[in-house]
Amino acid sequence: MNTFKSSIKSNMKYAAAAVLGLVCLAQSVSADTLNDIRQRKKIVIAIDLGSPPFGMTDDKLQPYGSDVSAAKMLAKDLGVEMEIIQVTGPNRVPFLLTNKADIVIASFSITPERAKVINFSVPYSASESVVGAEHSMQIKSLADLVGKRVGVVRGNLQDTLLTPLVPKGTTLVRYDDDSTNAAALLSGQVDAIGTAKELVTTTARKNPGRNIETKFAVKVVPHGIGVRKEDTALLAWINNWVVTNMKNGNLAKSYEAAAGAPLADLSQYMPK
């Protein structure tokens, strides 16, 4: 067998074993996390603070954004204090599986691959995956990405969506978080970025002289709150909380306050 191919297969086996090991470790912990949270009177929530408008920090490094607002509401309704632990796209699942966080509220797109190792709540938010660039860049579809450098967040939804879709001749450049991805566009390291529509809007608002805009949409994807597989009682409580706050409009209001645009219609995902 070709040595290069053999090396790839070997690395894939090691990676698969590592993920399986994390899952087994998480499932070996037989604990009632919901009860533990109530007893310690604190919930540890993983949030991506480099993903505007979902998670950001202000000039005083204080967290804000729609995910931060949702996390605060959840902790208040649970009757406990909240501790935020910062994550990036690639380490959201590992932080959850190694018990560094009780739950993840971090613009966490619900995908079949992730659902194999963790559970998701019913959707509480959503984002539209798009390709964004400066107004002068002639991009209207995937075909126009040939010869272009396109930034994405490594292992994130846009990476997963665009990797099999972009035509030959497109270079995908992977970064660790949304802030770095946006900075790469502004600095000219890439010609366009695959990201959430909300991030394009935020980047354009913060940099009015650059004429950053959405070029075309790829997909609308709902976000769920990430919970470990064994935490069924916690998941049930969170699902009930999400449904209640979707019906009363609290989650939609917190999203619109941060994003400056209405939350996508998620009624199709709500229990009948």
Per-residue pLDDT of 32-67, as tens digits, reads 999 999 999 999 999 999 888 899 999 999 999 999
Clarify whether residues 228 and 118 are in a common domain. yes
CB 70 within 8 A of CB 125: yes
User: Each residue of 100-120: pLDDT tens digit?
Assistant: 999 999 999 998 999 999 999
Q: Is residue 133 part of a domain?
A: yes
Task: Determine the Cα–Cα distance for residues 136 and 151; give it in Å rounded to an integer.
Answer: 17
Q: What is the pLDDT of residues 147-176, one digit of tens each?
A: 999 999 998 888 999 999 999 999 999 999
Residue type, 86: Q
Same domain, 209 and 240: no
Position 241 in a domain: yes
Both 235 and 209 in a single domain? no
Q: How far are the Cα atoms of 45, 119, 236 from residue 239, in angstroms, in the given order? A: 16, 11, 5
Full domain range(s) for residue 42: 9-124+224-261
**What are the beta bridge partners of residue 152?**
174
Backbone phi and psi for residue 202, each to the nearest 5 degrees, phi listed first: -65, -45
191-249 confidence digits (pLDDT tens): 999 998 888 988 999 999 999 999 998 988 899 999 999 999 999 999 999 999 999 99
Q: Are 84 and 63 in contact (CB under 8 A)?
A: yes
Residues 182 and 144 both lie in one domain: yes
Asked whether 197 and 214 are in contact (CB, 8 A), the reply is yes
* Whether 15 and 57 share a structural domain: yes
In a domain, 55, yes or no: yes
| Pick from 149, 222, 234, 217: nearest CA to 184 | 149
Please indicate, yes or no, whether residues 208 and 235 belong to a single structural domain of this protein: no
Whether residue 245 is contained in a domain is answered as: yes
Looking at the structure, tell me whether residues 47 and 119 fall in a common domain.
Answer: yes
This prediction has a pTM of 0.72
CA 158 to chain centre: 10
Q: Is residue 160 domain-shared with residue 118, that is, in the same domain?
A: no
- Co-location of 64 and 149 in the same domain: no
191 in a structural domain: yes
209 Cβ contact list (under 8 Å, min separation 6): none
Q: How many domains does the chain have?
A: 2
Q: Based on the fold, state whether residues 193 and 237 are members of the same structural domain.
A: no
What mean pLDDT value characterizes the chain?
89
Question: Is residue 51 in a domain?
Answer: yes
CATH of the domain at 149: 3.40.190.10
DSSP strand pairing (63-64 vs 56-57): antiparallel
Q: With the CA atoms of 187, 92, 110 and 184 taken in that order, what torsion angle do they form, in degrees rounded to the nearest 10?
A: 0
